[in-house]
Structure 1
Amino acid sequence: MRKLLFLLLALVAVLPAWACPACQKQQPAILKGITHGTGPQSAWDMPIIIASALIVLVTLVYAVKFLFWPKEAGEQHIKRSILDNTF
């Protein structure tokens, strides 16, 4: 019960973070209701954000890929010292 109460309190605390009506008018259609403040100031703002988001996404995909499937088969690879049970 205590966890449920904490979860509900956390969800209610997030509600003021949504954009107010004055800020919604300043935002482009894609950001309406999500963020406070002014919208993009130039034509380069959104392409820069999209490019950086793509870089982060590609980095995340490769990090997960190499974490689970490293494809290192050499017997002298450093991971063999961890996986080998002999000391």
Structure 2
Amino acid sequence: MKKVAILTFVFVLMEVAAFACEVCKKNQPEILQDVTHGQGPQGQWDYIITWTAVVIVAVTLFLSIKLLIRPKEAGPDHIKNIVLHSNKSCL
């Protein structure tokens, strides 16, 4: 019962923190209203920086998932094979 109460409290706090208050809604640009607290982007550079970061994160996520699914470690010159087969006398 105590876990349920704590989880309920945490989820309620997350919901409150997830949406902007009325004052912040007025100060945000139309596209970001009701999304975030605080001051909105101050100029075009803020949007450029944000979208550059989004692109970098998306590319990194794509490549990490791709390499986790198909790592292509079959080549004889792959670093894994060099480490495994180079110096067996040390083991």
Which of the five TM-score ranges fits, normalised by the shorter chain?
0.7 to 0.9
Q: Which runs of 5+ in 2 are unaligned?
A: 85-90
Point out the structure with max Rg over C-alpha: 2
In structure 2, the CA distance between the partners of 1:40 and 1:76, relative to structure 1 (3 Å rule), is closer
Identity among equivalent positions (%) equals 43
Residue in structure 2 matched with residue 52 of structure 1 by the alignment = 53
1:4-83, aligned counterparts within 5 Å?
Answer: 4-17=4-17, 18-75=19-76, 77=78, 78=80, 81=84
Opposite residue 62 of structure 1, the aligned amino acid is L
Separation (CA, whole Å) in 2 of partners of 1:70 and 1:79: 14
TM-score (norm 1): 0.75
TM-score (norm 2): 0.72
* Alignment length (residue pairs): 82
Q: What's the RMSD between the two structures over aligned residues?
A: 2.3
Q: Which runs of 5+ in 1 are unaligned?
A: 82-86
The structure with the greater share of residues assigned to helix is 2
Q: CA deviation at 1:3?
A: 5.3
In structure 2, the CA distance between the partners of 1:50 and 1:19, relative to structure 1 (3 Å rule), is same
> 1:10-30: CA deviations, max 9, x gaps?
210113312110000011122
